[in-house]
């Protein structure tokens, strides 16, 4: 998206930015996984793991990514049909996808490697058992070359099967769980103290391995402050908390984090499953996750502080022009 020109700032009618008659700005943002600005995490305590692409929306979902590998695009069937058991058809789908993907990779860098393609089933929720197709990339560059444009997969010849993009993972591994804290004033001066406080709060599910701040990474504009106003906390999950149901895992996390007398909103995968606000002073919660993963017992501790592939051609064309 081009930066606003002087014409649009004074009331012009650019498709990307224009002023309405009541002087309120209307912003038109291109669709797709990758936003106009790339983001990065600036570490303030310990070593934050590689987090690319670093997206604000990564923590605002109920889709459980813990059992998916890094750099994966998962497409889920739109209807619960009998899974494809024919390996020859699997190979046919793979070849068809690779034919569609190869030109997009070549436009970015001919040396980028095609993703591996696997067939699986969704777990958890109302879609449990529905067939999925996973595209697993070997690098963030290859992932970003495809992720914004591949939106669905459909078989030709009258087959009703359609797989739509359901979720994705970035370069983080499944046992790296991230928590975003909105407007928390974290810096190099207090990063260690914030980390220690969070480490106490999440002690029942894992250990904090790094704290940073989400910032925009752009050369298009000169900004006095590139901060997103979001502190990002990385938690290394225990084996038990990696496999327990998400609805049980989130009970071990507060919805608000108290720092110096102020409560700050938290976001993490499954946060919307929390129907009652909870505060960090009541955590950690000590629990034993059952081996059958069906329940958890918890007590609160004292307060401690030739498939047809649908591609967004407009976005792809725009990307090629920009490159």
**Alpha-carbon distances of 232 from 43, 48, 180, 198, rounded to whole Å:** 9, 9, 5, 11
Round to the nearest angstrom and report the end-to-end CA distance of the chain. Answer: 13
DSSP 3-state assignment of 308?
strand
- pTM of structure: 0.75
Kindly indicate the confidence band of residue 317, based on its pLDDT and cuts at 50, 70 and 90.
Answer: very low
Helix, strand or coil, per DSSP, at residue 3? coil
Q: Pick from 129, 171, 127, 130: which is nearest to 147 by CA? A: 171
Angle, CA 80 vertex, CA 71 and CA 241 arms, to 5°: 45
In the numeric block, which tokens belong to residue 104? 């997009």
Give the rounded percent of residues in the chain with a pLDDT score beyond 90.
54
pLDDT-derived band at 291 (thresholds 50, 70, 90) equals very low
Q: Which residue has the tokens 């695009």?
A: 73
| pLDDT, tens digit, 9 for 90 and up, residues 95-152 | 999 999 999 999 999 999 999 999 998 877 777 888 999 999 999 999 999 998 888 9
User: Which residues, 6 or more positions from 86, have their beta carbon under 8 angstroms from its beta carbon?
Assistant: none
């Amino acid at each position: 998206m081009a930066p606003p020109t002087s014409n649009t700032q004074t009331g012009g009618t650019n498709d990307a930015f224009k002023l309405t008659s009541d002087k309120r700005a209307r912003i038109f943002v291109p669709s797709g996984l990758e936003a106009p600005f790339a983001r990065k995490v600036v570490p303030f305590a310990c070593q934050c793991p590689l987090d690319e692409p670093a997206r604000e929306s990564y923590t605002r979902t109920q889709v459980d990514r813990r059992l998916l590998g890094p750099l994966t695009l998962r497409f889920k069937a739109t209807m619960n049909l009998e899974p494809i058991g024919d390996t020859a058809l699997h190979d046919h789908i793979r070849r068809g996808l690779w034919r569609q993907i190869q030109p997009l990779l070549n436009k970015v860098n001919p040396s980028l490697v095609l993703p591996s393609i696997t067939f699986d089933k969704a777990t958890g929720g109302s879609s449990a058992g529905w067939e999925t197709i996973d595209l697993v990339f070997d690098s963030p560059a290859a992932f970003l070359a495809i992720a914004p444009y591949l939106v669905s997969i459909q078989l030709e010849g009258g087959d009703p099967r359609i797989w739509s993009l359901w979720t994705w993972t970035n370069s983080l591994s499944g046992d790296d769980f991230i928590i975003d804290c909105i407007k928390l004033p974290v810096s190099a001066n207090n990063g260690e103290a914030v980390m220690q406080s969070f480490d106490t709060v999440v002690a029942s599910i894992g250990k904090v391995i790094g704290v940073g701040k989400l910032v925009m990474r752009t050369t298009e504009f000169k900004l006095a402050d590139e901060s997103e106003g979001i502190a990002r906390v990385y938690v290394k999950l225990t084996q038990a908390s990696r496999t327990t149901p998400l609805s049980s895992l989130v009970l071990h996390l507060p919805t608000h984090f108290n720092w110096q007398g102020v409560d700050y909103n938290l976001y993490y995968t499954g946060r919307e499953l929390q129907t009652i606000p909870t505060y960090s002073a009541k955590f950690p919660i000590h629990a034993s996750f059952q081996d059958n993963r069906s329940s958890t017992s918890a007590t609160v501790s004292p307060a401690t502080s030739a498939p047809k592939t649908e591609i967004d051609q407009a976005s792809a064309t725009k990307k090629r022009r920009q490159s």
